[in-house]
């Protein structure tokens, strides 16, 4: 019960699944997916690059394949569908916010090192909570810095900076008084930057708070223009939401396939679980849930590819539907697999923790629902 992808997307998914089976499965069988070694990460990247997948999101002008949203979506879905938790590392991150580097100096210093995988940058977006429960926007005040050049003094605290503890740079969203928001690239080890206690989420990912005390940032580290920092940051989140949604759908399909094998297999009752109507109903919910969320995913990917005005809303809906679908699907699968799937390290136990995290990551479900409602209220019945 699924719709057929176009030939190019179906071919890409087939090649990715074969690559993971032949190249990634053999070297990751005995490793912990929540703490992969640096050597393993590099080996996966090396093999992926040799096979022509690692630079899928990198522009053609920089030696990549320049894939758009629909291809990236199909790739993420296929890698999750493989069932290998290391498979997500097959795709390089692409330039991310560094794509905003708009002059030769920035492209040499910031953009190309990220594209080549020589440097990494973490996104410092979320303001940390103060003791009274409020959030104080990080400020960037124009000032003379370093050798007397123009720049900014950054002061504030960011929370939940994913990957910040191992990154080279922090791309900080900061408010420039009376001008608007800006995206500033800050050296993680710059004077005035301090990292708080590293926190580990239930899904195994790590996040750090960072404090900035009058950190000097030269104007050459400004991405884009002052005033468009927040819109640009939200566009980046939009791309991340689409990829997360694709991951969720791929994992949901993998769970459905694994569960089908389980319920069709032998059971102590003498007949397979699939013969029981109650089990059939639960499994049907899993399949239909995944089918509907997958349909929304690819419609959103097509809208983003065409840069339609409603693309942001469609992506928000797709991420919300896909992450909730994955959580329900894994939960139902655990019921059908039984107590064994509750043991630490079981694929469904790990995926249950991941699915719970993704209902919040890149925008919690409740926030994304507001995005959809706001769009409908602005456009009336024609949006329904």
Query: How would you write the chain as a 3-class SS string?
Result: CCCCCCHHHHHHHHHHHHHHHHHHHHHHCCCCCCCCCHHHHHHHHHHHHHHCCCCCCCCHHHCCCCCCHHHHHHHHHHHHHCCCCCHHHHCCCCCHHHHHCCCHHHHHHHHHHHHCCCCCEEEECCECECCCCCECCCEEEEEEECCCEEEEEEEEEEEEEECHHHCCEEEEEEEECCCEEEEEEEECCCCCEEECCCEECCCCCEEEEEEEEEEEEEHHHEECCCCCHHHHHHHHHHHHHHHHHHHHHHHHHHHHHHHHHHHHCCCCCCCCHHHCHHHHHHHHHHHHHHHHHHHHHHHHHHHHHCCCCCHHHHHHHHHHHHHHHHHHHHHHHHHHHCHHHHCCCCHHHHHHHHHHHHCCCCCCHHHHHHHHHHHHHHHHHHHC
Q: Is 199's pLDDT higher than 90?
A: no
Mean residue pLDDT across the chain: 92
pLDDT value for 384: 75
Report the percentage of the chain scoring pLDDT > 70: 99
pLDDT score recorded for residue 339: 92
* Per-residue pLDDT at 1: 65
pLDDT of residue 32: 86
In the chain, CATH 2.40.110.10 covers: 121-223
238-273 residue pLDDT tens:
999 999 999 999 999 999 999 999 999 877 777 889
pLDDT digits over 115-164, tens only? 877 888 999 999 987 777 678 899 999 999 987 889 999 999 999 898 88
Which of the pair, 279 or 382, is modelled with greater confidence? Answer: 279
- Residue bearing the bigger pLDDT, 131 or 280: 280
The predicted structure's pLDDT at residue 198: 81
Fold of 230-383: Butyryl-CoA Dehydrogenase, subunit A; domain 3 (1.20.140)
Instruction: Work out the average pLDDT over 312-333.
Output: 97
Mean pLDDT of 362-371: 93
Per-residue model confidence (pLDDT) at position 182: 95
pLDDT in tens, 291-308: 999 999 999 999 999 999
- pLDDT tens for 323-356 read 999 999 999 999 999 999 999 989 999 999 999 9
Residues of the chain with CATH 1.20.140.10: 230-383
State which fold the 121-223 domain adopts: Butyryl-CoA Dehydrogenase, subunit A; domain 2 (2.40.110)
pLDDT at 82: 97
């Amino acid at each position: 019960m699924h719709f057929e992808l176009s030939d190019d997307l179906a071919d890409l998914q087939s090649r990715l699944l074969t690559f993971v089976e032949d190249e990634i499965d053999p070297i990751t069988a005995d490793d912990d997916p929540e703490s992969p070694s640096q050597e393993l990460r590099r080996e996966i990247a090396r093999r992926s690059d040799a096979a022509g997948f690692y630079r899928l999101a990198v522009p053609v002008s920089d030696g990549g394949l320049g894939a758009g949203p629909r291809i990236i979506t199909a790739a993420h879905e296929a890698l999750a569908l493989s069932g290998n938790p290391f498979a997500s590392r097959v795709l390089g991150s692409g330039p991310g916010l560094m794509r905003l580097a708009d002059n030769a100096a920035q492209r040499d210093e910031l953009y190309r090192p990220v594209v080549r995988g020589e440097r990494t940058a973490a996104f410092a977006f979320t303001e940390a909570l103060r003791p009274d429960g409020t959030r104080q926007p990080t400020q960037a005040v124009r000032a003379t810095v370093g050798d007397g050049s123009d720049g900014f003094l950054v002061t504030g605290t960011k929370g939940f900076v994913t990957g910040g503890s191992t990154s080279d740079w922090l791309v900080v969203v900061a408010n420039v008084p009376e001008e608007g928001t800006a995206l500033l690239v800050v050296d993680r080890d710059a004077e005035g930057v301090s990292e708080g206690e590293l926190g580990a989420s239930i899904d195994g990912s790590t996040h750090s708070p960072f404090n900035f005390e009058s950190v000097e940032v030269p104007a050459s580290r400004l991405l884009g223009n002052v005033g468009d920092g927040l819109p640009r940051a939200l566009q980046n989140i939009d791309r991340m939401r689409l990829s997360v949604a694709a991951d969720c759908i791929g994992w949901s399909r993998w769970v459905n396939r694994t569960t089908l094998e389980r319920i069709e297999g032998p059971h102590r009752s003498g007949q397979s679980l699939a013969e029981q109507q109650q089990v059939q109903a639960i499994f049907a919910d899993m399949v239909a849930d995944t089918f509907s969320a997958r349909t929304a995913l690819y419609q959103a990917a097509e809208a983003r590819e065409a840069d339609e005005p409603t693309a942001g809303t469609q992506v928000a809906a797709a991420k919300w539907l896909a992450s909730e679908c994955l959580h329900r699907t894994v939960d139902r699968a655990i019921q059908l697999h039984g107590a064994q799937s509750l043991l630490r390290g079981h694929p469904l136990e790990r995926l249950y923790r991941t699915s719970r995290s993704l209902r919040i990551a890149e925008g919690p479900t409740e926030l994304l629902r507001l995005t959809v409602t706001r769009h409908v209220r602005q456009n009336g019945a024609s949006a329904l």
